[in-house]
Amino acid sequence: MAHDDALRAAWQRLTDEAIDFESIIRSLPVVNQPDPAELRAHLEEFYDFAEPVPVDQLTNQLIAMLRRYLIHVTHPRYYGLFNPSTRPASVIGDALAALYNPQLAVWSHAPVAQELERLTLRCLASLLGYDPDTMAAHFTSGGAEANLVGTLLALSDRCPAAATGGMRALERQPVLYLSGESHHSFVKVARMSGLGTDAVRQVPVGSDLRMDPVALERMIVADLDAGFQPFLVVGTAGTTGAGVIDPLPELADVATRHGLWFHVDAAWGGSAVMSPTLRPLLRGIALADSITWDAHKWLSVPMGGGMVFTRHPEAMAKAFTVLSGYMPPAASSITADPHLVTPQWSRRSTGLKVFAALAELGVEGYARLVDHQTAMGERLRELLVAAGWQLVNDTRLPVVCFTHPRITDGTTTTSAIRDAIYARGTAWISEVVLTGKGKALRACITSYLTNEEDLLALVGELEIAIGERR
Ligand SMILES: *Cc1c(COP(=O)(O)O)cnc(C)c1O
């Protein structure tokens, strides 16, 4: 049948694209910046949705468009914002999740998908230093949702009256603490949770960009004196801007002494625990009451794949359990139905792609992947310094923030360098503002495919942009 032939051809085309993807992506420009109005007009003309498009043609069209109109975050010369090259096994896992469409709202609908996620989360929890038998964890859409869950757990545990009466039922305004280098998803969390952004206290950082625990304690005491209710400290393990790790044991100590929930946002940096060499950098992370970790960052799986872990399973149930008359009964006493212990209701098998990547690579394979990217970050620092650039941040994780004497003396700007690189299109880096340090250029090793040649190419692009090479 014609339809079957078209479908077969479409899948064949997709298979070819996936198998050859590594060489295809290398052959494409990293940066593509179509004119928004032109792109929109082109698509509107092409697709009026009046005539059906055969699926094989449609597949070819989609591939052509995706090749042409994206910044290719899976390109080894994309030095960007934690968006990874995806492991082939994880793409297969994700495609199967789309195909079988397992429904994880209740265990009984998707027993094997449920248990594969559980196995995966238990393995990752142990690497964090949590006891897999006493923790609870689930997949989220990303780090922002995981940070929301962490905050809601803290709220329902420390301010239980808010669950029924809302914030107005609380005698004192709850406040939380983070640093200026923390992720700004917490500003949204403050709005979405009803806490309000005034409840967010920004703790100063030192010149190393790490939260100052002494300042934290001083602010908690001052807030207590002023009649507020401090309830949550957020430490970051691998800040988005500079890859810096807050002093987790010291923050845990301050939080514990004052009875605050301690959440660690390790959205990107959490993956350092895969490597025995890097794991000690995250010392103290297991003291956290809850942890955010994104698989769709340094675990190199497709978006969205966040995770949230807690040492307090009962807090998860308290925050999210709602009983209804229409959901199927629990399968057994050893299984928890996700819709009762997470914010989502219908639930995609987000974890299938993470399981697939972990099973295919193994923990040791992941350690090599993480160590390779770390080594590439170290090498990039050496190459930049040798070429006259100056490093601005201090971390062992592969985020490199840097500037140049010609930027500091005002001859050029970080934005001009960035834009010159985008215009040539062969690499992508970003500009970042760091507390007390102003603007810098930022390059992160986000692809496990990035090699020394890619680093030399980036440094070459930077030299052209700064005007030291043609
Ligand atoms: C990326 C990031 C987030 C947000 O995660 P999403 O997956 O983009 O929602 C939160 N915190 C940190 C430290 C991050 O790097």
Let me know if residue 395 belongs to a domain. Answer: no
161 and 222 co-located in one domain: yes
Bridge partners of residue 138, in order along the sequence? 308
CATH number at residue 344: 3.40.640.10
Does this model's pTM top 0.85? yes
147 and 255 co-located in one domain: yes
Q: Which pair of structure tokens corresponds to residue 38?
A: 């032109």
What distance in angstroms lies between residue 227's CA and the mean position of ligand 1's atoms? 32
> What ligand 1 atom has the least distance to the C-alpha of 236?
13
Does the pLDDT of residue 109 top 60, yes or no? Answer: yes
Question: Which domain-ending residue is among 324, 358, 392?
Answer: 358
Q: Given pLDDT bands bounded at 50, 70 and 90, which one contains residue 402?
A: very high
214 and 330 co-located in one domain: yes
Domain encompassing residue 35: 3-72
Let me know if residue 454 belongs to a domain. Answer: no
Q: Is the CB of 79 under 6 A from ligand 1?
A: no
Q: pLDDT tens-digit profile of 349-386?
A: 999 999 999 999 999 999 999 999 999 999 999 999 99
Q: Given pLDDT bands bounded at 50, 70 and 90, which one contains residue 470?
A: low
Does the pLDDT of residue 101 top 60, yes or no? Answer: yes
Q: Give residue 325's pLDDT.
A: 87
Q: Name the residue of 265, 350, 397 to mutate for ligand 1: max ligand atoms within 8 A of Cβ.
A: 265
Mean pLDDT to the nearest integer, 221-237: 98
Number of structural domains (the chain) is 2
Question: Which domain-ending residue is among 358, 389, 404?
Answer: 358
60 and 137 co-located in one domain: no
317 and 185 co-located in one domain: yes
Q: Give residue 333's pLDDT.
A: 82
Report the SS3 class of residue 441. strand
> What ligand 1 atom has the least distance to the C-alpha of 147?
10
Q: Is the CB of 142 under 6 A from ligand 1?
A: yes
Q: Give residue 329's pLDDT.
A: 83
258 and 290 co-located in one domain: yes
Q: Which pair of structure tokens corresponds to residue 133?
A: 């038998």
Q: Give residue 330's pLDDT.
A: 85
43 and 183 co-located in one domain: no
Mean pLDDT to the nearest integer, 463-470: 84
What distance in angstroms lies between residue 239's CA and the mean position of ligand 1's atoms? 9
d(CA 234, CA 211): 10
Let me know if residue 27 belongs to a domain. Answer: yes
DSSP β-ladder status, 390-391 and 306-310: unpaired
CB-based contacts of 256, cutoff 8 Å, min separation 6: 262, 287
Q: Is the CB of 80 under 6 A from ligand 1?
A: no
Q: Give residue 1's pLDDT.
A: 56
Let me know if residue 438 belongs to a domain. Answer: no
d(CA 432, CA 81): 11
Let me know if residue 45 belongs to a domain. Answer: yes
Mean pLDDT to the nearest integer, 101-107: 96
Let me know if residue 193 belongs to a domain. Answer: yes
48 and 173 co-located in one domain: no
Let me know if residue 436 belongs to a domain. Answer: no
Dihedral of the CA atoms 341, 346, 351, 353 (nearest 10)? -170
26 and 105 co-located in one domain: no
Give percent of the chain above pLDDT 70: 99
